[in-house]
Structure 1
Amino acid sequence: MISYFCCRNTLRPLKQDTASFLHQTFARTFYNRSLEVEHLTTRLKAPPQFTVLLGPPSSGKTALARHVATQTRLNNTPKFHPLIIDLREVNTSEKGSFLNAFIDDGLRTAVRDTFWGFMSNVAEVAALGVSANLRDSHPSPQKAATVFRELGSRLKPFSLSHHGERPPVLIIDEANAFKQIDDEATGAFLSFAVRITKQESKMHVIFTSSDSFFENWLKKRINPTHFNTLVVGDLPREEAYKYLLHLVETHPYLSSQNKNRLKSVNFDVPFRITGGRMFFIKQYVEQVHMSGYFEDPMDFEPTLTSCATLEDDFRGKAKTYKTKEALRVCQLLLNSNGYISFAGLTAVW
């Protein structure tokens, strides 16, 4: 099932069996809106589920998941017990990188939240294995399965009496990096994610991804009935306007003249330039601060950069690799599965 938190700039017919939440989303520096927070909070208070948060880059998926999972009560005790693994920090070309990152982040989290204290036992299993053939430096599927089985055995089935309304939540940020990780632990982890949510009801699992094809990749490895997808999109016009005013009011260096100008301007102008993307709205305000007010979309730096790239590609201008770019392309070739996407190559420049 797919639920839409937000839409792009206009309303679109929703797919069958979808729910619509046409309110704003969240930036990395969290900008709170109650509906999305309430929806995800309610979801995390329910029996464990496997959730995939999809959305374009810089649409606020990570900030939303982290904010909800790290909420505190009035007495400053946590509502949930989050364990966050950021795959941006994982070396996708290194064998065993995911399992090592999982254990390291678990141990660090245990310092802040004693709920995860058993991660030291999980780390011992990872270091020693259960037999000599599991003590190799690169994790085999059997060793990875043993580690995740140990973790699962330390968790209790969800109930208010066991977790005191504070269930554990595992967040895998930028989960689309699994596609590049050459790590046999990935398959064992995906099986664990299904078992710990769907079958044993012990822990919530949330994947965030800005890769529109990640869901298809995941469906080839997991029965799609075992996870739910929530889509976090761009802001509708009204919420984008509120976010612009929030940025203007809280900007520490924006001049009074520019503040007044942005507050009084017809919002159709910045909305046409930014398209409701929070990341772009923030860039727009910052560019006004640095260079002064403008209305022409072609003066917007992200637009100029995109147009220059498209123009060079269309004209077929030759591009010469410098040392840094050449090394990066070599690394892409070594890490590829037989091909390199066009987007991957253009990102080198």
Structure 2
Amino acid sequence: MPNDVQKRNFFGLGEIVSVIANPGETVRSLAESRKLLQEARQEIHESRERAQLPATHTFSPLPGFFPRPAEMQAIERALDGIPSFTVLFGASSVGKTALLREVLSRDTYHVLHFDLRIAGFADISSLYMSFSRQMEQYFETLSKTMEGYEEFEKESWSFKHDRLNVERRIENGGAAVVKTSDIARLMELFQSSLLRYWQFEPKGTESSSESDTTKVENSTPSEGERKLQKNRPPAQDVSEAGPSSRTVNEKAPEQSEQKPTKKMPVFFIDEAHKLPALIKSIEAMKCILDSMLVLTKQDRLCHVIHATSDSFYQTWLRQLNVMQHCKIISIGDCSKVETRAYFMEKLLPNVPERLQHGLEFSSLYEVFGGKLAHWADYVADYVNANGDLPVKKSSHFLQAHALLNLQIIHASEVEAQPSGARQPPRRTSTPRGFKIYSPIPTSMPIAPSPTAAEDGEEQQADIPNPSSSFTAIQLLKVMRKLTEPGVTSLPYFLLCRELGVRAVDDMVRGRILELRWMETVTREGSDAEEAYVEDIRDSVLDGGEGHSRGHGGGGIPSTKEVMGPKLVPTTPVMRYAMREVLGEYGIDDDDAREGEGERSEYASLSDVEEY
């Protein structure tokens, strides 16, 4: 054994020889090792930066927000009640997002927000990833911001590991896409986490409850004190019991402040009508909507709010058997009093004094109504134009005027065809009619055929017809009715019976009319003026002469006669543009109201009486 120790050991000599023989390979391996170390160091640095980024869920109020007490109170009442599925309807630029941000910015709510204007998903896979990350951040933020809820960091791990399992499955050559079952499992994880959140009691609440019981026991009066209290006069009882009750009430807020209040989760999707265009799978959408109903109506774990500016989103939810379980809140334009306050307090102080004489509220209100966004845009353009900007040269009026003329001209192409070819064909190679993009499909296949991929006709049947289904005469007739004195809206169902469902719906899709399924929270216009107009219209409708003159033989009843959904112009400036377009077509006088209008300069139209 000692002899073996004295022998020379050549271990590692081969590596030394290889390094000396191949110096280039050695330098290359060292460079690769250095590069790998730099990449690892950069990943660690980026992960630390990512961890420091705050994940904000609640909204911050918009700067310069103009309060609307009635709408805010309606939203607050919906959120203060039991958890529900609420659909917030309202036209574009009416202030839905601003109202929700103002209410949801309070500390009592914790929001999972998805703005589909800049949607972070466009298919089922990205939808799953977006939902999973938001839910993970929700419970991670909950564990860091609320005292005693540190254990809920483990709930965020469940979403993270489920997402990692799906990513590994895709990377390993498994399913190429995320399935509906993955969405269902994700929503089930969210349900169980919310259930544990509401059942969880932070550490310290038990000790505080025990201390409360000891205080109550110590504060109970003895038998001698009870006898003294019985012998006291009533007035003395009240006077002496008051301070003790006040001290107890003063201690109660202090004890409640020590306990962290649970925030109400709110699942908010803005511009929700874009969901059908982003997610093509009906099964996936049905799974998501059903799970939202379970979270609200059944388990009452969170509020769900869908804000939309598309009236047909209600029909789409009805087809999926969801709408009957939802609450509806309809947001309209401001009243005349609110609009005047906005004009005097927000807009007029920013206008130079030498230009203020050209801004008369009554004349501007006739054009822009209670649409505050249009008021702000016009006043800004008016100041930039140094006061030389008539209303008929404003941007919003020109757009409304151009849209009406485009719709009439393109609709006249269908009307100019022979009577046998008046019905638009099922398919056409050249689009006719002025169509506007709508994310809501006109016909939704609830149960797709298994042979739909092989049958080309079934695939093309779902493509909406590019031609207009209403004629120019029908559109002019509706415009004439909406511009009559005292007529603010038209009944949807009765107009569908007269003109056809497709014709009326295409007017809504063409951004000419807005369909309101229920009355708005705030009544638009002046309440006193509207009441006066309604009284006059009622008295006229009682007489035969006033009835025939009021309707002009059109057969479309007024707003007062029926209940149900109503049709109004999309904006007040659209109603104003309707009057101008009718004047251009020569049907703005009483003779034209009877169907004897002149022919158009822009399109070849038939006589009104021929319809």
- Normalising by structure 1, we get a TM-score of 0.72
Equivalents in 1 of 2:303, 2:128: separation in Å?
19
Offset from partner CA, 1:157-180 (integer Å, 9 cap, x none): 896997825211110111101121
Deviation at 1:294, TM superposition (A): 6.2
Query: CA 1:233 to 1:220, structure 2 compared with 1: closer, same or farther past 3 Å?
Result: same
* 1:65-80 equivalences in 2 (<5 Å): 65-71=100-106, 78-80=107-109
Which structure is higher in RCO with an 8 Å CA cutoff and minimum separation 6? 1
Partner of 2:3: none
Select the residue among 337, 350, 364 that pairs with 1:270: 364
Deviation at 1:153, TM superposition (A): 0.6
Equivalents in 1 of 2:199, 2:365: separation in Å?
45
Deviation at 1:136, TM superposition (A): 3.3
1:97 aligns with 2:154: no
Q: Could you tell me whether the CA contact under 8 Å between 1:119 and 1:151 is conserved in 2? A: no
Partner of 1:81: 110
* 1:162-181 equivalences in 2 (<5 Å): 164=261, 166-181=263-278
1:217 aligns with 2:254: no
Matched residue SS, 1:58: coil
Q: Could you tell me whether the CA contact under 8 Å between 2:135 and 2:190 is conserved in 1? A: no
* 1:101-180 equivalences in 2 (<5 Å): 101-107=130-136, 114=143, 118-129=155-166, 136-156=175-195, 164=261, 166-180=263-277
Select the residue among 463, 479, 491 that pairs with 1:338: 463
Amino acid of the residue matched to residue 166 of structure 1? Answer: K
1:241 aligns with 2:335: no
1:261 aligns with 2:386: no
Matched residue SS, 1:96: helix
Amino acid of the residue matched to residue 396 of structure 2? Answer: P
Q: Could you tell me whether the CA contact under 8 Å between 2:347 and 2:376 is conserved in 1? A: no
Query: CA 1:110 to 1:247, structure 2 compared with 1: closer, same or farther past 3 Å?
Result: farther
Equivalents in 1 of 2:330, 2:340: separation in Å?
21
Offset from partner CA, 1:132-163 (integer Å, 9 cap, x none): 69963522111110011001110038969978
Q: Could you tell me whether the CA contact under 8 Å between 1:96 and 1:185 is conserved in 2? A: no
Equivalents in 2 of 1:340, 1:47: separation in Å?
43
Amino acid of the residue matched to residue 98 of structure 1? Answer: L
Partner of 1:55: 90
* Structure 1 residues not aligned, in runs of 5+: 1-25, 72-77, 319-328
Sequence identity of aligned pairs in percent? 21
Is 292-301 or 57-66 further displaced after alignment? 292-301
Equivalents in 2 of 1:97, 1:250: separation in Å?
47
Deviation at 1:199, TM superposition (A): 0.3
Offset from partner CA, 1:303-349 (integer Å, 9 cap, x none): 1123224334544599xxxxxxxxxx9xxxx9x951266789989xx
Query: CA 1:160 to 1:151, structure 2 compared with 1: closer, same or farther past 3 Å?
Result: closer
Matched residue SS, 2:195: coil
Equivalents in 1 of 2:284, 2:384: separation in Å?
47
Equivalents in 2 of 1:158, 1:109: separation in Å?
12
Paired positions, count: 300
Offset from partner CA, 1:256-290 (integer Å, 9 cap, x none): 333x437xx54221111212112211112111121
Amino acid of the residue matched to residue 268 of structure 1? Answer: S
Q: Could you tell me whether the CA contact under 8 Å between 1:158 and 1:203 is conserved in 2? A: no
Query: CA 1:94 to 1:161, structure 2 compared with 1: closer, same or farther past 3 Å?
Result: closer
Matched residue SS, 1:194: helix
Deviation at 1:107, TM superposition (A): 4.7
Partner of 1:44: 79
Matched residue SS, 1:57: coil
Deviation at 1:231, TM superposition (A): 0.2
RMSD: 4.0
1:300 aligns with 2:394: yes
Offset from partner CA, 1:76-116 (integer Å, 9 cap, x none): xx111111111122277544333333234445556765478
Equivalents in 2 of 1:146, 1:53: separation in Å?
28
1:226 aligns with 2:325: yes
Matched residue SS, 2:396: helix
Amino acid of the residue matched to residue 140 of structure 1? Answer: K
Partner of 1:15: none
* Structure 2 residues not aligned, in runs of 5+: 1-60, 147-151, 202-259, 414-436, 438-458, 469-505, 512-611
Is 283-292 or 189-198 further displaced after alignment? 283-292
Q: Could you tell me whether the CA contact under 8 Å between 1:85 and 1:105 is conserved in 2? A: no
Amino acid of the residue matched to residue 68 of structure 1? Answer: V
Query: CA 1:227 to 1:155, structure 2 compared with 1: closer, same or farther past 3 Å?
Result: same
Partner of 2:584: none
Q: Could you tell me whether the CA contact under 8 Å between 1:125 and 1:150 is conserved in 2? A: no
1:310 aligns with 2:404: yes
Q: Could you tell me whether the CA contact under 8 Å between 1:81 and 1:168 is conserved in 2? A: yes
Equivalents in 2 of 1:161, 1:44: separation in Å?
22
Query: CA 1:28 to 1:228, structure 2 compared with 1: closer, same or farther past 3 Å?
Result: farther
Query: CA 1:250 to 1:220, structure 2 compared with 1: closer, same or farther past 3 Å?
Result: farther
Query: CA 1:128 to 1:29, structure 2 compared with 1: closer, same or farther past 3 Å?
Result: farther
Q: Could you tell me whether the CA contact under 8 Å between 1:174 and 1:210 is conserved in 2? A: yes
Matched residue SS, 1:185: helix
Query: CA 1:250 to 1:268, structure 2 compared with 1: closer, same or farther past 3 Å?
Result: closer
Partner of 1:321: none
Offset from partner CA, 1:230-266 (integer Å, 9 cap, x none): 0001111111111222331564xx42333x437xx54
